[in-house]
A and B are shown apart, each in its own frame.
Chain A
Amino acid sequence: MNGWINYLFNAIALGMTFLYGSVGEILTEKAGHLNLGIPGIMCMGGAGGCIALQLMYRSGIPPMLIVIISILAAFLSGVLMGAIYSFLTVTLHANQNVTGLAMTTFGVGMMKFIISKIRPLQYMYALDYFRFPFSDRTDSLKYWGVMVYLAVVVAIVASLVLSRTRVGLHLRAVGENPATADAVGINVTAYKYGATCIGSGIAALGGLFYIMDYSGSPEAYLNIEPFGWLAIALVIFALWRPYLSFFGSMIFGALFVAGSFIPGLLGLTLPMSATPLLEMLPYVVTILVLIITSIRKKRENQPPASLGQSYFREER
């Protein structure tokens, strides 16, 4: 396979980690909640999926079912985390930033604890199932397993739901102006809970994807956290639109692996110490994007108007 295409395939595959995270965060933010717990939630997704895999180890369950069940387990772990977050921020009106950070502390800790108790062998056996149908490839195409397509489907569905359905209309209204949504009889609390939990569930899949498909290494679980933070930043990059987040994810993926591909592709021999500088790229680009979008203020490209504020009806 041509080196550049190999790079592209790798970038797109890795991008799916961001795509899960950012689509999940977009849904949450559309409901007016900034969830800084995404890193923790992605970790928990990975943990949930791996527990399920361990329980099914040598159980004789068909591979396809194993994949589906562990994806569901990851999703449910995310939903559970989302429920905790929603309970604190929606029902108890807690500060969203602090709650999110606490979620991340908890989630990262919980995942490390859980996975340290499982032997890698007891979940890594499923790597080939996840990488279906390309499990025996040696180039980047091997990463194009089932969860890559699932991510694309999830992003398209999320996009359609947001723009074309009543539920999407209501959700956007909740995030833009909860008082108005409430006034027309939309159950604001239910939408906030729903969007946050489903969004968290989707984000959680990113963790499982990274461990069980992209990375394929027993230590993968230690590296998930930064993907969560970047996924949150990607939401701004994508202007709160899942389909744009699809392209943003690929760009982030390309930047993320640039360090290991570009020098070789260009025939450069860089000193070892250049690697960290290349790895810095996605973060620097994110900062630039943040600045640019804040300078070019367009009415349609702003975050949901009520983002970060809790809604309390009897406020006078």
Chain B
Amino acid sequence: MQKHEKHTRDPRFHIVKRAGMSRGKALLIRFLAILAALLLCSVLSTLLIGANPLKFISTLFSGSLGSSRRIWKFAKDSAVLLCISLAVTPAFRMRFWNLGGEGQVLVGALASIACAYYLRDSIPNPLLLLIMLVAAVLAGAFWGLFPAICKAKWGTNESLFTLMMNYVATYLVAFALMEWTKADGSSTLGEVAFGHLPRLYNEYLLLILVVLALTVLVYIYLNYTKQGYEISVVGESEKTARYIGINVGRVITRTVLVSGAICGLAGFLIVAALDHSITTATVGGLGFTAIMVSWLAKFNPLIMVGTSALIIFLQQGGAEMSTIFNVSSAFPNIVVGIILFFIIGCEFFIHYQIKSRVSHKKGGVGK
């Protein structure tokens, strides 16, 4: 009975859901979160690698924007990440947790490079590029098809399924590399001299323009087409979708196919515009980063332009830090991880409100 005493005081605060928050205020909270995260990162970088906070911030900027070459690289990397983010978005809108972007991009890239590798100059380059594109898109879609069908039919856990498909794709690439380099046994494929996309000013601009156009297309697809509308309905409430007669299984399958196809396209772009080769690390975790880019943008393609740029900005800045201070190239991942924690955490303050009992008394009586 002694415990009673302890409990006869009011709890200081409790948590309630917000009815809604103005966009400006929400943006401010996110901005503050990023600021706080950067502060923590700069403190950490002082502790871990002995760089003072100012140096950290200035390196971040110079890493991405320090020279025209860096700006181009920044724009190119952002575009690639944006492209993959766009790809995973339709499925996420439907609450289909496609963690397989990585593998879908990789098989797209593999299909593209395989076309270039085998067809070489037997056909004209534009035709080759077209075949590479189609092969990549089909391969990406095909990689998403299995998990989608199983999800639609039996409700198979899609996140783990797609995750495993990533590794299957990785080993498939490893297999292809071994087959192709049997002669020297090096397992590394040099630059394939065929199926290069034409240069437009430099090798990056065409890619960037294509991705920007794709952004607009995906935005229109999701917001203004019947299929996009169906995706939203299925994502928000499967029960409602059934009630109005949407064939939920079909929408799931179709949408994941679209997602996979765009992933394949991303793979094609990586191969035909940038790498002209393939390794098991061609996608290098971008498939996972894209999930977070998409989620941070609340699955809105236009906002993703900003979020993907933010992530790349941090990664390049971090990479610059690791070069200057001669530390592990994994340093940028730490920075990105911390920023993500803060942004993820700050959502709470946008959706919920901490109310103290005292202040509520004042507000409550008037009503």
Contact = CB atoms under 8 A, between A and B. Distances in A.
Q: Do A and B bind each other?
A: yes
A272 B179 CA distance: 9
A106 B168 contact: no
Contact of A88 (B150, B171, B345, B352): B345
B330 A112 contact: yes
Given A97-B159, A109-B330, A113-B328, A276 B340 contact: no
A8 interface: no
A237 to B, nearest CB: 10
Residue among A87, A116, A280, A284 with the most chain B CB within 10 A? Answer: A280
Interface string A86-114: 01100111110111011111111111110
A231 to B, nearest CB: 11
Task: Summarize B's interface: helix, strand, loop or mixed.
Answer: helix
B161 interface: yes
Interface string A267-305: 000001101110110011011001100110100000000
A98 B178 CA distance: 35
Nearest to B328: A116
A105 B288 contact: yes
Given A95-B295, A104-B288, A273-B178, A283 B168 contact: yes
B160 A232 contact: yes
A41 interface: no
Contact of A295 (B154, B172, B333): B154
Nearest to A307: B157
Interface residues of A, number: 51
Nearest to B146: A287
A157 to B, nearest CB: 26
Given A98-B292, A113-B334, A290-B156, A279 B171 contact: yes
B17 A92 contact: no
Chain B interface size, under 10 / 10 to 19 / 20 to 34 / 35 or more: 35 or more
A287 to B, nearest CB: 5
Contacts of A312: 15, 17
A92 B349 CA distance: 8
Contacts of A79: none
Given A280-B167, A287-B161, A290-B160, A117 B327 contact: yes
A86 to B, nearest CB: 12
B154 A229 contact: no
A174 interface: no
Given A93-B351, A273-B182, A276-B174, 17 more contacts: A88-B345, A93-B352, A101-B291, A101-B292, A105-B336, A109-B333, A112-B328, A113-B334, A117-B328, A272-B178, A272-B185, A283-B168, A290-B157, A290-B161, A294-B150, A312-B17, A314-B15
Interface of A: 36, 84, 87-88, 91-95, 97-99, 101-113, 116-117, 226, 229, 232-233, 236, 272-273, 275-277, 279-280, 283-284, 286-287, 290-291, 294-295, 297, 312, 314-315
Nearest first, the 10 closest Cβ-Cβ pairs linking A and B are: A109-B333, A106-B337, A112-B330, A116-B328, A273-B178, A92-B348, A276-B174, A102-B340, A294-B156, A280-B171
26 contacts: A84-B341, A94-B345, A95-B295, A97-B291, A98-B292, A99-B344, A102-B292, A102-B344, A105-B288, A109-B330, A109-B332, A113-B327, A113-B331, A113-B334, A229-B167, A236-B157, A276-B171, A276-B175, A277-B171, A280-B171, A290-B150, A290-B161, A291-B150, A294-B155, A294-B156, A314-B17
Interface of B: 14-17, 48, 97, 99, 146, 150, 154-157, 159-161, 163-165, 167-168, 171-172, 174-175, 178-179, 182, 185, 285, 288-289, 291-292, 295, 327-334, 336-338, 340-341, 344-345, 347-348, 351-352
